[in-house]
Amino acid sequence: MLIRSGQWEPARRTLAEAVERAEGIGNPQLIGTLRCSQGNLAARDRDWAMAAGHYEAAAAAHREAGHPHDTVEAMIGLGRAWHQLGRTDDALRQLRAAEALAAEIANPQRLAEARAALAEVGGAVALPDGLTARQADVLRLLATGLSNKQIAGRLYLSPATVERHLATVYRKLGVTGRVEAARYAMAHGLAGPSARPVL
């Protein structure tokens, strides 16, 4: 409630008190959730050292609790924080481990988040024409022949968000529609081996 309403200082105090209580009762799942929230607040303030400490504690607590989906979320936060601290090799290792765990537990949302974070820190091929990782994901799926609704389902986005991404992609690439965009994706290695042209 405090975070949603932008009351950052009261949120920090409340989270710190809640972590202390959760540690007192020994509830690792609750500790992990609270520490991840603390990491998010620290990242919002660009206090990357503090964020890394919270995310690291969150990942350890979620592992102890046996909650791999939440563990992946904390690992992604930790990888991003380490990247901001200049620990690029550690960040890439952490994010690749998060990607592997997300794939192992078959969580497509966390897998997409891990891959987006990898792209942000340079763990993926550089994207042409100023495309963001998310725009490249949309373009990749377009090139496989998926509709906007199907792309939205795969990436956990709304169809309207996919449409906005595509409008931006078309503008950046200087193309007029799906067919040209799909051809561009194939010509620039942004389409997987199973991609087929949109007709």
CATH code for position 53: 1.25.40.10
- State how many domains the chain has: 2
Q: Identify the sign of the CA torsion 84, 85, 88, 90.
A: negative
Average pLDDT over residues 103-129: 78
Computed over every residue of the chain, the mean pLDDT equals 87
Among residues 80, 101, 121, the one where a domain terminates is 121
| Helices (H) then strands (E): counts for the chain | 10, 0
Asked whether residue 32 is domain-assigned, the answer is yes
Assess whether pLDDT exceeds 60 at residue 125.
no
Structural domain of 35: 8-121
Asked whether residue 159 falls in the same domain as residue 112, the answer is: no
- Compare 123 and 23 and report the one with higher pLDDT: 23
Q: Give me the torsion for CA of 177, 181, 184, 186, rounded to 10°.
A: -130
CATH code for position 180: 1.10.10.10
pLDDT at 29 (0 to 100)? 95
Asked whether residue 107 falls in the same domain as residue 139, the answer is: no
Q: What is the pLDDT of residues 127-179, one digit of tens each?
A: 677 888 788 889 989 988 999 999 998 888 899 999 999 999 999 999 999 99
pLDDT at 196 (0 to 100)? 38
